[in-house]
Structure 1
Amino acid sequence: MIPAEFEYAAPTTLDEAVAALNDAGEDAKVLAGGQSLMPVLRLRMAAPTTVVDLGRVPDLRGIREDGDTLVIGATTTHYEVLHDPLVAQHARLLTEATATVADPQIRHRGTLGGALVHADPAGDLSAPALALDAELVVVGPSGRRTVSAADFFQDYFTTAVEPGEILAEIRIPKHTEWAARYEKFHRAAQQWSIVGVAATIDIDNGTIRQAKVALTNMAAVPVRARAVEDALVGQAATADTIASAAAHAADGTDPMTDGNADAEYRSHLATVLTRRAVTTAAGL
């Protein structure tokens, strides 16, 4: 199939993009990398009156440092994130997760901001954003506002971005000394996660000083495994400690049952993958 007819806008500044989006009304769609939007348009699951293409807005792309924060433009591609030395140094968890996204072709076109705004519960980048305490800067006709990752994801395919607003950048506190690992289970290569675990830990002299663990596809939104984190902090980084903490991975979650797995199996996967992720991050 081919998409329904729509108007096309290609602004060159963020202000122009916000203006074009608001002029078009609530039926407009924003195009970042297009790896989620284009299939939906072709299947006519969406029929926007206008598509606002962000690909020509240079201020929305790139990676830079801002003191103790790493700033990533919303239209920065997965490929750029994956191969950027600043991300590898200061947000290793994001590098780990981005390496699992789809295939090289998708990673060359898809964008970090597009993936986060799409908010697929099986997407691989929302949980790392949550675990890294990212902040997301949204721009609209009323100006700029910052939303924490904990408040950004609200429901299936639903975020805090309001009609007429555009995600401009992702701000991540530097986790320079933190070890990290992203583990996912999927039925075949390049598919969405059935369950994923984003884990990053700070170890000092064999003791886990801090731990952040977030889960993919264990609820309508990514969730922090707080019980796992609490069980790890202050403990020796040993296989037994990690296994005991990982047993709490599914606590407080709400996994779905679908054609890929039932809720009980997803809970089991969360436990196994959490143990693997933390163990690998700890170098055990």
Structure 2
Amino acid sequence: MKPAPFEYHAPRSLGEALDALAEAGADGKVLAGGQSLIPMLNMRLAAPAHLIDINRLTELATLDVEPGGVRVGALARHAQVERSEPVAAAQPLLRQALRLVAHPVIRNRGTVVGSLVHADPAAELPAVLALLGGSVRLARRGATRDVTAAAFFTGPMESATGPGELAVSALFPLLPARSGTAFREVARRHGDYALAGIAALVSLDDDLRITVARVACVSVGPVPVLVDVTEVCGHRPPASAGWDAAARAVQDRIEPEADIHASAGYRRHLIGVLAEQALRDAARAALDA
């Protein structure tokens, strides 16, 4: 199939892009990496009247380590973020997750912020933003606002981005001291969307006892499912934390659905296995921090 007819806009400044989006309203779609949008257009799962191509807006191709975290601009490609050593040092979970996103050819073109706006519950980056308590900056003509991850993902393939708004950047907060992260997932084939996945964060105090242990679950809900298991394994050293009990607690908090790829029971089983593995990995990273 081919896309439905649309009017193509190629703004050369952020102001021009916001003007085009304001005029298009709910009939406008933004083209950045296009790795999700183009297939949806071709299959006519999306049929916008206006397509606003922001690839000429070089001011959005930014990647900065700020005091508050890693700020990723709307045109920063997956590969750019994945390969950045300053970013990996400041927020290792980004690289851990990005190496699991599709294939290198996709990561060379796809954008981090685009993945967040697409809001696929089977995608890795929404879980990363949710776990870290990050935010997305939205701009419209004459105004900007920052939306926390908890409020940004509103449903499967749905975000808080409103008509006339452009997601211009995302902030991934830095880790506390003595913290570690990990990302684990299972897919039918390498590069496929995950049947189930876990992003994990563990923090320790000066006595090397657990103060924070939480995970974000992929592919088991309409949005990333955040589960805090600190009460299960906290105030103990990682070696005696009882990660198996923490994993069971995660399983108890999810309500996976069956589809053509996996049953609900299988997804629940995978989440338990992956949660235990990822929490152990994150604890080891915290001990080495």
Same fold (TM over 0.5): yes
Residue aligned with 2:238, SS: coil
Aligned residues: 283
Residue aligned with 1:210, SS: strand
Residue aligned with 1:2, SS: coil
Amino acid at match of 1:222: P
What does 1:1-284 correspond to in 2, within 5 Å?
A: 1-175=1-175, 177=177, 178-204=179-205, 205-226=207-228, 228-238=229-239, 241-283=242-284
TM-score (norm 1): 0.94
Which whole-Å CA distance do the structure 1 matches of 2:199 and 2:149 have between them?
Answer: 14
Which whole-Å CA distance do the structure 2 matches of 1:123 and 1:147 have between them?
Answer: 19
CA RMSD in angstroms comes to: 1.6
| Cα deviation digits, residues 221-244 of structure 1 (max 9, x gap) | 001112x23323322102652122
Identity of aligned residues (%): 36
Bigger mean CA offset, 43-52 vs 96-105: 43-52
| Cα deviation digits, residues 79-130 of structure 1 (max 9, x gap) | 0110112221121111101110000000000000110000111111111111
Amino acid at match of 1:206: L
Superposition deviation, residue 67 in structure 1: 1.9
Amino acid at match of 2:265: E
Residue aligned with 2:274, SS: helix
Superposition deviation, residue 195 in structure 1: 0.7
| Cα deviation digits, residues 45-87 of structure 1 (max 9, x gap) | 2221111011111222221133232211122111011011222
Which whole-Å CA distance do the structure 2 matches of 1:95 and 1:74 have between them?
Answer: 17
Which whole-Å CA distance do the structure 1 matches of 2:68 and 2:217 have between them?
Answer: 25
Which whole-Å CA distance do the structure 1 matches of 2:277 and 2:240 have between them?
Answer: 10
| Cα deviation digits, residues 156-209 of structure 1 (max 9, x gap) | 111111111011111122116421110001111110011110012223443222
**Cα separation, partners in 2 of 1:207 and 1:94, compared to 1, 3 Å:** same
CA contact (8 A) 1:94 1:129 kept: no
Which whole-Å CA distance do the structure 1 matches of 2:282 and 2:56 have between them?
Answer: 38
CA contact (8 A) 1:134 1:171 kept: yes
Residue aligned with 2:259, SS: coil
Residue aligned with 2:265, SS: helix
| Cα deviation digits, residues 32-52 of structure 1 (max 9, x gap) | 100000011111222211110
**Cα separation, partners in 2 of 1:45 and 1:156, compared to 1, 3 Å:** same
Structure 2's unaligned 5+ residue stretches are none
TM-score (norm 2): 0.93
Superposition deviation, residue 142 in structure 1: 4.8
| Cα deviation digits, residues 259-280 of structure 1 (max 9, x gap) | 1112222111111100011112
CA contact (8 A) 1:98 1:125 kept: yes
Which whole-Å CA distance do the structure 1 matches of 2:176 and 2:106 have between them?
Answer: 28
Which whole-Å CA distance do the structure 1 matches of 2:74 and 2:238 have between them?
Answer: 35
Residue aligned with 2:256, SS: coil
Residue aligned with 2:168, SS: strand
Amino acid at match of 1:88: A
Which whole-Å CA distance do the structure 2 matches of 1:66 and 1:36 have between them?
Answer: 29
Amino acid at match of 1:155: G
Residue aligned with 2:22, SS: helix
| Cα deviation digits, residues 4-55 of structure 1 (max 9, x gap) | 2221111122221111112123211111100000011111222211110111
| Cα deviation digits, residues 236-262 of structure 1 (max 9, x gap) | 102652122111112332211111112
Structure 1's unaligned 5+ residue stretches are none
CA contact (8 A) 1:4 1:47 kept: yes
Residue aligned with 2:26, SS: coil
Which whole-Å CA distance do the structure 2 matches of 1:239 and 1:85 have between them?
Answer: 33
